[in-house]
Amino acid sequence: MREVVKIINPYDPGLFPEDFEKPDVIQLGSNENPYEPSEEVKRTYIQSLKFIRLYPKSTYDILKTELSKYLGVERDEISVGCGASELINCVCMALLEELDKVAIPVPCYTLYAIYAMLRNAQIYYPQFTGYKLKSDFVYDVKPKLTFLCSPNNPTGNTIKRKVIEEILENSEYVVLDEAYVEFSSTSNVNLIEEFDNLIVIRSFSKFFGLAGMRVGYLVADRKIVEGIEKIRLPFAISYPALRTAVAALRSVDYYLNLKEKIVRERERVYEKLRKISGLEPYPSEANFILVKVTREVDDLIQKLLNEGIIVRDVTGLIGLDGKHFRVTIGKPEENDRLLVLLSKFC
Ligand SMILES: *Cc1c(COP(=O)(O)O)cnc(C)c1O
């Protein structure tokens, strides 16, 4: 086995309700959408079962057509994959030679480093408290590729457009991960019209609530898209996943309505968390909140788990000092249960 594979830390997927003996576990650890799919998505999924003996058409034209309407970009500026995760790997495969410099500002999502390491790249981790990014690091590192995430996982904040532009001007390529963008007020996907070195990666897992279907996409200049289309898995998206993603795009109003609820809850939960002593929540533009535990609150995360609430322990994540957990915004009654327990334990 390659040495690099031996030293890679496995991706931490967090805990799952299946890991517990008890029923009715509240899953607030994985940033999933807490609501059911639209009726159209459910119906489409059932109807697609008749066709699962067939291969899906590997160019995924219907999905790209719907996405081009949703995003206002051309169809040949879009590539698709088995979740955003596959596309992060594809970008690394397509762009990185051995010892190329990759900048990964932290704290952020851990998958970028895994795939960059697999290319034997040289990785730099410029550190920004609260992911309040400045562009200075590009002048020192001169990266071949920079990974940015906006809104960022786990801090929840967005990066200023001006900062993204400065990084684009000084990094050969830039990946902008917009997995949570629909929960925020701005997208920077239209920067691809100006910058042919920008790759925007997005997902159906969060806003569209299709984490179990595994569909993601990438938006970039045609030349990059052409390369990615050559190397991604030919049948990356299953037939039911393809059909449900298209149906989700066609019922976007349903999802916008859910988003309103989630954003309203996010603001409510944030205000309540601020009032609990020993907790310091970060303002968020995503569907989760990062919380710093400032006083010694022994085993807070474990106590929540004992009560059947899963939050993500991100203590020790590179770039985060002190004890932190990340909590997904759930349904109002789930959030209430969390808040009651946190008030009790803190
Ligand atoms: C959840 C997440 C993804 C997504 O993934 P899929 O593979 O599409 O499920 C990508 N980037 C970030 C930052 C995420 O949090």
pLDDT at 21: 87
**179 CA distance to ligand 1 middle (Å):** 6
**203 CA distance to ligand 1 middle (Å):** 6
**84 CA distance to ligand 1 middle (Å):** 6
- Do 81 and 130 lie in a common domain? yes
Q: Which of 85, 238, 285 to mutate to test the pocket of ligand 1 (most atoms within 8 A of CB)?
A: 85
Ligand 1 pocket residue status of 79, Cβ below 6 Å: no
pLDDT at 296: 79
Rounded to whole angstroms, the Cα distance separating 328 from 339 reads: 13
pLDDT at 179: 98
- Parallel, antiparallel or unpaired: strands 309-313 and 101-103: unpaired
Longest dimension (CA), the chain: 57
Q: How confident is the model at residue 7 (pLDDT cuts 50, 70, 90)?
A: very high
**159 CA distance to ligand 1 middle (Å):** 17
Rounded to whole angstroms, the Cα distance separating 34 from 152 reads: 20
- Do 242 and 259 lie in a common domain? no
Q: Which of 82, 108, 109 to mutate to test the pocket of ligand 1 (most atoms within 8 A of CB)?
A: 109
Indicate if the pLDDT at residue 23 is higher than 90: no
CA distances from 173 to 91, 109, 200, 270 (A): 10, 18, 11, 35
Expressed as residue numbers, the domain containing 318 is 3-35+253-345
Residue 199: CATH number of its domain: 3.40.640.10
* DSSP 8-state assignment for residue 155: T
pLDDT at 298: 75
Residue 321: CATH number of its domain: 3.90.1150.10
**78 CA distance to ligand 1 middle (Å):** 17
Please tell me the total count of domains within the chain.
Answer: 2
Looking at the DSSP assignment, which residues form a beta bridge with residue 292? 280, 324
- Do 147 and 209 lie in a common domain? yes
Locate the ligand 1 atom nearest the alpha carbon of residue 149 and give its number. 13
Locate the ligand 1 atom nearest the alpha carbon of residue 204 and give its number. 8
pLDDT at 295: 83
Burial class (CB in 10 A: 0-12, 13-18, 19+), 164: buried
- Do 136 and 69 lie in a common domain? yes
Q: Which of 86, 205, 208 to mutate to test the pocket of ligand 1 (most atoms within 8 A of CB)?
A: 205
Indicate if the pLDDT at residue 94 is higher than 80: yes
Indicate if the pLDDT at residue 275 is higher than 90: yes
- Do 259 and 142 lie in a common domain? no
pLDDT at 259: 98
As given in the structure block, the two tokens for residue 166 are 């400065």
Ligand 1 pocket residue status of 203, Cβ below 6 Å: yes
pTM of structure: 0.97
Q: Which of 63, 177, 312 to mutate to test the pocket of ligand 1 (most atoms within 8 A of CB)?
A: 177
Ligand 1 pocket residue status of 178, Cβ below 6 Å: no
**292 CA distance to ligand 1 middle (Å):** 22
pLDDT at 181: 98
Locate the ligand 1 atom nearest the alpha carbon of residue 84 and give its number. 8
- Do 58 and 168 lie in a common domain? yes
- Do 241 and 322 lie in a common domain? no
- Do 246 and 304 lie in a common domain? no
Smallest Cα–Cα separation from 289: which of 129, 128, 151? Answer: 151
- Parallel, antiparallel or unpaired: strands 145-149 and 101-103: parallel
Looking at the DSSP assignment, which residues form a beta bridge with residue 289? 327
Ligand 1 pocket residue status of 149, Cβ below 6 Å: yes
Tell me the DSSP string of 188-257. -GGGGGT-TTEEEEEESSSTT--TTT--EEEEE-HHHHHHHHHHS-TT-S-HHHHHHHHHHHHTHHHHHH
Q: Which of 33, 114, 153, 327 to mutate to test the pocket of ligand 1 (most atoms within 8 A of CB)?
A: 153
Please give the average per-residue pLDDT across 276-285, as a whole number. 97
- Could you give the count of Cα atoms lying within 13 Å of 72 in the half-sphere of its Cβ? 7
Determine contact, residues 174/192, Cβ cutoff 8 Å.
no
Residues contacting 243, CB < 8 A, separation 6+:
44, 45, 47, 48
% the chain with pLDDT above 70: 100
Q: Of 252, 271, 288, which residue is a domain's last? A: 252
- Do 239 and 302 lie in a common domain? no
Indicate if the pLDDT at residue 139 is higher than 80: yes
Average pLDDT, the chain: 97
- Do 22 and 160 lie in a common domain? no
Helix 239-250 vs helix 39-48: crossing angle, to nearest 10: 160
Indicate if the pLDDT at residue 112 is higher than 80: yes
Q: Of 252, 273, 308, which residue is a domain's last? A: 252
Indicate if the pLDDT at residue 323 is higher than 80: yes
- Do 141 and 191 lie in a common domain? yes
Indicate if the pLDDT at residue 65 is higher than 90: yes
As given in the structure block, the two tokens for residue 113 are 């480093």
- Do 109 and 214 lie in a common domain? yes
Rounded to whole angstroms, the Cα distance separating 244 from 208 reads: 10
* pLDDT tens digits for range 281-307: 999 999 999 999 998 777 999 999 999
* pLDDT tens digits for range 150-177: 999 999 999 999 999 999 999 999 999 9
Q: Of 193, 220, 252, which residue is a domain's last? A: 252
Determine contact, residues 188/161, Cβ cutoff 8 Å.
yes
Determine contact, residues 82/233, Cβ cutoff 8 Å.
yes
Using the CB atoms, write b or e for 247-259: b if 16+ within 10 Å. bbbbbbebbeebb
| Residue 120 CB neighbours (<10 A) | 14
| Residue 311 CB neighbours (<10 A) | 24
**85 CA distance to ligand 1 middle (Å):** 6
Please give the average per-residue pLDDT across 55-82, as a whole number. 98
Ligand 1: which residue has its CA nearest to atom 15? 153
Q: How confident is the model at residue 331 (pLDDT cuts 50, 70, 90)?
A: very high
Q: How confident is the model at residue 268 (pLDDT cuts 50, 70, 90)?
A: very high
